[in-house]
Each structure stands twice: as C-alpha cells, then as structure tokens.
C-alpha cells in the first residue's frame, strides 16, 4: 500500500512537472506570438503610411510638372516672338493630359476665339483642376505682366 502512495505521488509529481513545462511553453509562445502580431500590425501600418506619403509626393510632383508645362506654354504663347516649335510641343503635351473641357478652353484661348475665357480665368480653372475644388485663389489674384513697349513693337501686324 505504501508503494501505491509513493507511485501516486510520483505520478502526481510527473503530472505537475509536465504541466509546468507545458504551461511555460504555452505562455512563452502566447507572449511571443502576441508581440509578433503587434509588430506585424505596426509594420503594416508603417508600410501603408509610407505608401500614402509616397503617393502624396508623387501627386505633388505631377502637379508641379503639369503646372510648369502650362505656365511655360502660356508664357511662350503670350511672347510676341515665340518659338513655334516649342509652342507646338507644349500645346501637344498639354492636350495629352488636360481633361476635354480644359483642352477645349485652351484651344479657344490659343486661337483668340471670342467665346474664350480670359487668360486668368483659364489659369484659375487649370489650378482648380490640379489642386482640387477647395482651392480658394480667385482668378483676379493671378498677376500677369503686360508686354513691354519693345515686345509690343515686335508683335507681327503692328
């Protein structure tokens, strides 16, 4: 009978030791996977934030390029002795990315059509297209410089 008690105690000791080992292993893995999951979530959030920043930077760069193209086109067009090849290139580039309503307006402006909007109104519309409707700069806030006397004399037909 005493051997049965000893055997029972040994079995309980073994069960306790095995249980402690299993509990330790389970706790270790639970903590490890919990930390790994949190790390993975944070890493994914960082990747998303980086992607959004990269997309925002890419959009700003695209806006700058398109703005520069329109600005150069309008400056070249208004200059009396403009370079026709450069003017054609800039016009063609603008027509490739401008939406149809703005491309139509650009055609009217460049052709001096009577139903064309003025220079400032066109620039304002392009700005609103590039920056969004929340842009509050009014078309009268665009500053343009008139042709100098020398430039006016170089205008063909004058």
Please give the chain's pLDDT, 158 residues, in tens: 788 888 898 899 899 999 999 999 999 999 999 999 999 999 999 999 999 999 999 999 999 999 999 999 988 888 877 788 999 999 999 999 999 999 999 999 988 899 999 888 898 888 889 888 777 777 767 767 776 666 666 555 44
Please give the backbone phi and psi of residue 157, each rounded to the nearest 5 degrees, phi first. Answer: 90, 5
Write down the pLDDT at residue 153: 61
CA 76 to CA 83: how far, in whole Å?
7
Domain count across the chain: 1
Write down the pLDDT at residue 151: 62
- Please answer whether residues 101 and 93 qualify as being in contact, where contact means their C-beta atoms are separated by less than 8 angstroms: no
Strands (E), 80-152: none
pTM: 0.62
The range of the structural domain enclosing residue 121 comes to 2-153
158 occurs within a structural domain: no
């Amino acid at each position: 009978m005493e051997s049965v008690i000893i055997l029972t105690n040994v079995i309980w000791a073994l069960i306790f030791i095995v249980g402690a080992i299993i509990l330790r292993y389970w706790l270790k893995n639970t903590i490890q996977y919990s930390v790994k999951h949190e790390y993975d979530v944070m890493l994914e959030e960082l990747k998303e934030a980086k992607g959004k920043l990269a997309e925002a930077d890419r959009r700003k760069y695209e806006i700058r390029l398109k703005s520069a193209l329109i600005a150069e086109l309008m400056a070249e067009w208004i200059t009396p002795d403009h370079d026709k090849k450069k003017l054609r290139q800039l016009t063609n580039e603008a027509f490739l990315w401008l939406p149809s309503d703005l491309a139509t307006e650009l055609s009217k402006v460049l052709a001096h059509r009577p139903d064309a909007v003025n220079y400032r109104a066109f620039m304002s519309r392009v700005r609103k297209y590039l920056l969004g409707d929340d842009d509050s700069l009014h078309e009268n806030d665009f500053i343009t410089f008139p042709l100098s006397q020398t430039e006016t004399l170089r205008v063909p037909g004058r």
